[in-house]
Amino acid sequence: MRYSSAIFALAAPLLASAAPARFYGKRAETDILVFKFADVLEQLETSFYEQAIAKFKDADFTAAGFPSSLIPIEQFQSILADETAHSVALQAALKSFGETPITGCQFNFDSALTDVATMAATARVVENVGVAAYLGGAALLTDPVLLTAAGSILTIEARHQTILNVLSSTGTAIPSAFDFAFTPSEVLALAAPFITGGCEIPIPANTPLALTNAGTVAPGTKLTFQATSINGTVPEESLFCQMLVGGAPMTIPLPMSQCIVPEGINGPVALFVTSDGQPLLNNVRDRAQNKIIAGPALAFIDTKPQMLGQLARGSATGAGSGSSNQASTSTRTISPAEASSIIVSAGAATGTDSSAAAPTATSASSTSGDAASSGASSSGPNLFTGKSPDGKITVNGWKGA
């Protein structure tokens, strides 16, 4: 892939301003792996937007309900330029450490590029995975300079996420005051299905998890799942579904037979299937990985559509009527469940060698954490005040004074 010199010019100041002196030389193994992995995700995003922009024509965007194709195309091109610049900068950083970036990965997005609605819904998931991946990477980076450099990318991924929420028509631009983080293995549960080969990523992947619900997922919907690890080996009655939202100290655990989306959720929810009913910690460093049978999957529970999205997507009819807070659109939109299934059906994750484990990349304390810290009843934590069982305010499991 060739990059324009303009992009190199953009990448250089990032590297220079981030760390004039300390960027060079030998780095901690974990820091290198985090940067290599981040670069693979940037390559994935770059490839996704390149293929999407190449495939869809103006008429495809207007058929999907956009008042003008210029609105989404302008944004997708701007996002593509950012992702390309991120990959260039990360690879330049790795080379300055004397490291070789992971290249040659082949990506297949056929299942996500069937139409504009599916593409836009998948892009929304991809950007949220990007945010969660950089946030999880933050817990692993040891050098504050590299942490700041990664943070300067994270903030941009979050802006992409907001634009895609707006372009989705049913989404809230900024649905939550807090985001959640994923470990690299959790990220791979979502990313690996798109990677069809050509490279080796030395990080074990969690088993991909698909939501099998047809249609819109909303509060009150019972969620149903599919994963290769949910196959009768372990009786389904003994499995739990866990819902993670930003800001909460831990997941909401529910028996699989009662995996019903609660009231009060708006925006992205990470879904896990676990072998017991202990809630998983939001705190990504200490989240018990050994309980996760499959996932995460990512769903968007859109309960508060905003006028901005309806304007961008051309479904503003009735937006001011006050009679309904549901976006009314005559064009096809993709439910969060459909987007999730699309991702898992993308491929059999053959490109990722999940047996080549790199212990540095995953939580070393998988047996600590969740069980120890959980004083919550099986009905789950108090999600929306962010209060831990001892009454302290927590954000993503980190306790305030």
Residues 6 or more apart in contact with residue 351 via CB below 8 angstroms: 105, 106, 192, 195, 196, 197, 198, 199
Interface with ligand NAG, residue 228, by CB under 6 A = yes
Interface with ligand NAG, residue 355, by CB under 6 A = no
Cβ-contact 261, 215 below 8 angstroms: no
CB atoms within 10 A of CB 36: 20
Token pair 């994923």: residue: 182
Instruction: Tell me whether residue 233 or residue 355 sits nearer to ligand NAG (CB atom).
Output: 233
Which residue, 163, 154, 160, 109, is CA-closest to 136?
Answer: 154
CB of 364 to ligand NAG, least distance (A): 22
Instruction: Tell me whether residue 152 or residue 229 sits nearer to ligand NAG (CB atom).
Output: 229
In whole angstroms, what is the distance from residue 338 CA to residue 175 CA? Answer: 20
Interaction residues for ligand NAG, span 289-318 (CB under 6 A): 293
Interface with ligand NAG, residue 226, by CB under 6 A = no
Region from 51-59, 223-231, 278-286, 377-385 binding ligand NAG, contact rule CB under 6 A: 223-231
Instruction: Tell me whether residue 273 or residue 319 sits nearer to ligand NAG (CB atom).
Output: 273
CB of 125 to ligand NAG, least distance (A): 24
Which residue, 293, 287, 251, 295, is CA-closest to 140?
Answer: 287
Cβ-contact 41, 91 below 8 angstroms: no
Site string for ligand NAG, 2-31 (x = CB under 6 A): ------------------------------
Interface with ligand NAG, residue 229, by CB under 6 A = yes
Interface with ligand NAG, residue 368, by CB under 6 A = no
Interface with ligand NAG, residue 234, by CB under 6 A = yes
CB of 368 to ligand NAG, least distance (A): 23
CB of 294 to ligand NAG, least distance (A): 8
In whole angstroms, what is the distance from residue 70 CA to residue 172 CA? Answer: 21
CB of 230 to ligand NAG, least distance (A): 7
In whole angstroms, what is the distance from residue 289 CA to residue 239 CA? Answer: 15
Instruction: Tell me whether residue 106 or residue 228 sits nearer to ligand NAG (CB atom).
Output: 228
Find the angle CA(164)-CA(52)-CA(326) to the nearest 5 degrees.
Answer: 35
Region from 28-36, 169-177, 226-234, 315-323 binding ligand NAG, contact rule CB under 6 A: 226-234
Instruction: Tell me whether residue 333 or residue 362 sits nearer to ligand NAG (CB atom).
Output: 362
3-state secondary structure string, 47-76?
HHHHHHHHHCCHHHHHHCCCCCCHHHHHHH
Q: Is 273 helix (H, G, I), strand (E, B) or coil?
A: strand
Instruction: Tell me whether residue 172 or residue 274 sits nearer to ligand NAG (CB atom).
Output: 274
Tokens of 247: 């800001």
Instruction: Tell me whether residue 231 or residue 355 sits nearer to ligand NAG (CB atom).
Output: 231
Instruction: Tell me whether residue 147 or residue 273 sits nearer to ligand NAG (CB atom).
Output: 273
Judged on CB neighbours under 10 Å (0-12, 13-18, 19+), 229 is: middle
In whole angstroms, what is the distance from residue 132 CA to residue 394 CA? Answer: 18
Instruction: Tell me whether residue 234 or residue 364 sits nearer to ligand NAG (CB atom).
Output: 234
Q: Is 225 helix (H, G, I), strand (E, B) or coil?
A: strand
Q: Which secondary-structure segment (H or E) carries 240?
A: strand 240-244
Which one of 21, 25, 231, 400 is in contact with ligand NAG (CB under 6 A)? 231
Interaction residues for ligand NAG, span 274-293 (CB under 6 A): 293
CB of 345 to ligand NAG, least distance (A): 16
- The DSSP letter of residue 12 is H
Interface residues with ligand NAG (CB under 6 A)? Answer: 228-229, 231, 233-234, 293
